Each structure stands twice: as C-alpha cells, then as structure tokens.
Structure 1
Amino acid sequence: MSCVGIVGSAGAYGRWLGAFLERHLGVRVIGQDPADPASHTPQALIEQAQVLVFSAPIRITEQVIGDYVRLAAGREAGQLWIDLTSIKTGPVAAMLASQAEVVGLHPMTAPPKSPTLKGRPMVVCEARLDAWRPWLQRLLDALQAQCVRTTPEHHDQVMALVQALVHATHLAQAGVLRRHAEHVGSLVELFPYRSASFEMDGAMIARILALNPAIYEDIQFGNPHVPQVLDTLVEEVTRLRDLVGQGDEAARGGFRQDVLAANKAAIGATALAEGNYRFERIGYLLADLAETRSLSVHLPLDQPGSLRALLHVFERHGVSIASLHSLRNPAGELHFRLGFDADVDLGALARAAAEVDASGIGRVLDGASSMAALSPARRLAASLQRRAATPDDVPALLALREATMREHMRNSGVDTSPGSMLARLLNGYQHAQVLLREERIVGLLKLDRSGPDHVVMQIQVAPELQGQGLGRALLEEYIEQARDAGKDVTLHVLKANPARGLYERLGFVVEGEDAHEFHMRLSHR
C-alpha cells in the first residue's frame, strides 16, 4: 500500500500518527481537517488512500464516519477503516455500514512525546478484518504498544471504569479542594504537606484539567455505561460518609468489614501485592524527583557508550550521583536527570557540567548548582514549551499584553494606545521567548542576559494560567540562573501593579523610581 488518509489530521493524535506512519512504515500520508485550509478534501481521501483513519472528536466521530460512508458509496470496498476514539460501539458500528474492512483502536495515552507507544496499552477491536490483517499487524508491531483485544461493547463497559470513573473521582476531588481552598489553602499551598498519594492525585487532577477539556467531557457524556458507574460511585461514597457520620464502634466495624475487608478480598492477594509494590516504586521516583540538587542532560549521540562517558565525567570530578532517571522534556527530547545529595560540592558539580557541555558528550538543560524542589508551579513551568519569539507572534503577544497589562498601565497613568502597546512589546524583542501549551501562546518571557546585570524586561502569563504560581516559578528559575552566573537581577514594575509584593518577597528592593515605575534590584554580589 502507498497512502493513508487521516480524518482529523490537524488534531494532536492526527499529527502524531501522521508523522509516525511516514517515519516507521514509509507510507504517504494525506489528511483532511477543517482546522487546516490546506488539507485535502474528503473526496481526495476516499480516492487516494487505501487506509482511512478517523481521529475526530468523540462526539462527532459517528457523524463524520457516516458522511464518509455516504460519500464513498461503495468505492471504499477493499480499503481498511480505523478509528482512534475513546468510545468504540458507535464508531465501529458506523464504519461497519461501509464496505471497508474495519478495526477500532484506542491508545490508552495522550499523544506521547516518544516516537512510539512502547510501554503503553492499546485496545484493539477487530470488527471486519481479512486481507488487511498482515498490514494491521505490521502497524501494531511498529507502534510497540501492549495490545489487548476485545469487542467494542466490552471496551465501552471497561472504559466506564478505567477512564470515566477515574476522571470523575479526580474531578470531584478538585471540586472539594476548590471549595475548601479559602480556609485551608489551594493545591499549591497544600503541596508542602503532601503524601505520595496526594502528590499522585494532584498530578492526576492537573493532568485532566491541563489537557483538552472536550475529551474528558465526551468520555463522561458519550459512553452509555457511565451513568450506572457514577450511581455506584455515589452509593459507595454515601455509605462511607454515613459510617463516618455515625462514628460509633458499630460504624467502625462496618467500615472494617464492608469498606476494607470486602474490597481487599475482591481485589485478591496477588493484585494487592503487585499494586502495593507499584505504588512504592512510584513513591521512590517522586522522592528522587524532589531532590533539591539535580541536573538534566540531553545526549545528542544515541549510541552505546554515551551514558558511560557522561557518568565518567562526574566520577573524574568526584561527584557522586544519588539518582538517575531517563525521561523526555516538554520538547520530546530524551534526557537523563541526575540527582545529587544536598551536600554535594557545588563547585565540582559546576565544573563537571561545564565539561559535559564543552566536550560535546551532552547538553546541560538546566542550571548546575541548584534546583528548587519540583512544586506544582515548577512542574507547570516545565510542561510549557519555549521558543524564540518571531514577527508572526506579535498579534498574539499584543493580545496577551492587552489581557494582562492594560488595567495596570491605565491605573499607573501609562499610555495604552495601540502604538504604545506595540512599542513596549517590540522593545528588546530579540530577547523574547514565547511559552506554548498545545502549540498555543500562553506566556511571554523577555529576559536580557547581555549586560552586567540580568534584566527582567517582561514576564506575562495568560489569565487562564494565573493564580497557580507560574509567574513566580518562572522568575525563581531566572533568579537561580543569575545567581549561578554571579549577576544581580533588575526589573521595573508599574506602581499600580500588585506584583511588586511578590518581587519584595523574593528579595528585590526598590533602588529608584520614575513617574510610573519602581526600579528594583535583587543583589547576588
């Protein structure tokens, strides 16, 4: 075969799968997506592709497939049709109305930053498969996923538990945390008190709320088995609440028997042991990732001996490595995170990092002297992609400035005309970086490191990400870099901007002012 057509080619999975098919199977990929005016027409996909992959939003997938069935009008005979949605009964039935061979696939992960699905489960629902079976197996082998086969109906029953129930419980947790935040503290403020369980749950909540909300909505509303599962969840939580509210010894006995013992017996000894061990491994990993001294290194030469050469550098400088993990950064690069004990010789560590960079063995991705423990805000900052700003970004950055700065500028008596806004944005634009989430601009960093001081020209965060400590995390990151370089940090803040309080808490002091701004400095000398 020579061509695969992807319906929904501009979406996250459509883009990932298109690149995967071209790279690993060597096929030509064409796509159709309303979000991409340059994409092919549905007619072109039917005429040119031998395999059609439907990667549309869950709620419209059946309708989209039906449209293609009517448009193809029998010309799809001999083709293979695949869908990638989280619901299977409806989409597979819609594809079976065609004359194509039909398979439903459900990768149990968002589009990964890794090149394959290695280590990730994927559900396979073979509905009508004959001539295309060898090609499908070749695709599955290349994806390297842990495949499990079932029917569309059983898939949806399982997903009501594996996806919808899990999402619902964490969204309910988020609601409880929100309603108690005023009196006890936000998720960020609770983080220093975390247990491993709370940290994992907090990460799940953040993951759900950070990704495409339409997916989570459709998983709840699009699966007919979800209401019954949620009813059962309410019954179980109500039973627990009633026992705790009753509070006497009889209630405690009911808790021990009905909540603990009954569930323990249902899960079974083997699954309990394996799950507990899995939890402990994750707990150790979280502890390693919370080390306050760490270094991340990208090895550009992916070949035998590269890691050994890296480790020898630290050995030569007398630096002991407390932990070592491989992971991918937000840009998808494989890198190694090395953790060090709190009493590590920072001078030796800095010299080792400099040798790694200078030798070409690897590229150091973060500061060598110190990293604060990875709070939720730091993790949010790390999850955002960064790149140099381009002229094409100016309209989006102007809109960001309008949303975040107009009120402060007006209250400070600063000109807010379009020309003034543009001039402030373009001042020092060569130092500007944009922050991206799912390829959308959500922030601006304008940091000048060229002079005797490190200058914070602008840090702006989209309103949707404010209130989570992101601005502080970005500024702390820059402060650490300046400290490593032995440079002071300076900035100007509008007199009406409440961010001055944050700057003072971080150690900045006012060293001057003009009509509209305070001039502040954080000294490292």
Structure 2
Amino acid sequence: MNAHPLDDPIGVALRTRHAHYALAEGAALRYPSDVAPFGSIPFDATDDDWASLATIAGADTIAMFVPSEFDVAHGWQTHLDLGLTQLTDDDVDTSGERLSDIVDLDETDVPEMLRLTALTRPGPFLPRTVEFGGYVGVIEGGRLMAMAGRRLSVPGWVEISAVCADPEVRGRGYARRLITEVARGIRRDGDRAFLHVAHGNPARGLYEAMGFVVRRDSKVVDVSPSGA
C-alpha cells in the first residue's frame, strides 16, 4: 500500500512540487536555510542516511516532521521534540468572498512579516519563506497586524502556516478569516488544505471549530550534528 503524501509532507514536497529548492545528499533532503529550516530522511533511517543529513545540515539545525516513535541517532543534538497534530480541511466552509480588509502579501512585505512573526512566533518564518506564496494579511496604519499563508506543498495538498496576529488585534477574528481565505485559494487551485498544531496549543480548538479534522499525531524534532 502506498503511503499517504501527508505522512511525510516535507520529504514529499522536496521530491515533487518543491524539488527546485531541494538540497540533497543520498536519501537526505533539506530546504535552503533562508527558505525554511525543514529537512527529511527516511523514518527507518540508517547510519548512512544520518551521515547524509549531516553533510547537508552543516552547522544548521534541521527541523523534521517524524512519527511519534522516531528516535534521533546517537551523535546528534535534539533541540526540540514536540508533539504535533495534523488536521485536514474536511468540513471547512470556504464559500463566500474575500473581506475587503484582507490584502495579498509579497516580497515587499517581508520586513513587516519578519517583524510580526518575531513578535508572535507562529513557527519558522525566514527571509525567503514568502516564496511559498499565498500569503494574505491585514495592514493597519502601515503595520502588518495579522497574516497567514502557504508552506509545504505536495500533490493534492497545501499546508496553511504562519497564522498569527499582533496582540493589539487579538480577539477580532482575524485568524479565522485569514485561514478561510488561504484555504479558499488552495481549493481554487484544485488542492486541499492541511495544517499542523503543537500539542497543547489552544489554537486547535479554533481549527476544529472551523471544520478541520484530525488526521494523525506525529512530532517535530529540531536536530543538529553534535559539535556543529
């Protein structure tokens, strides 16, 4: 039986729609360090696979989405080991039209996007992450106050990520509206949306209320070769 593409969305993305970003060595893959911190190796990785990952990791920390039972090899430092829940857009309502205060974001907005993500820490956002596309936001007085966009893309599926709002505007419903807009664009392109939420993050309640359905649990590990 073929594995589902969302079982290893980083690896599948780097072998398909994001292959143009892939830095590869053996069975190990990663994004350029200014695009995303993500990498992938087989879940039953051999010593050779870990050696290949070390080659392309260099001094960087690599983030991987892996099964909950995945063990990091000896000789690697684990900086983060955090449970994740993956949800898909089974019952999300994307009917309706874009609200007038939502705007498209692009490379010219990167300084504000970096400022907002540094303030709110929704997950990694780097100078070239915007290249994944589909970013939308709300701007008030020249400041980006809320945003959401796309990240991993595999055949049939696109991840929603970087959902965040400035503390000054929390409670206004921007997250729901921006997630809906991103999901609407993904469906318009013929794909379906998925996302990840850390265990214990109260945002899961919003996602499930919107119609996202739990698909699986996994975890994210941030690792680097010892001594890097």
Larger Rg, first or second structure (1 or 2): 1
Q: TM-score range by the shorter chain?
A: 0.3 to 0.5
Q: Which has the higher strand share?
A: 2
Q: Which has the higher helix share?
A: 1
Higher RCO, Cα 8 Å, sep 6+ = 2
TM-score normalised to the size of structure 2? 0.44
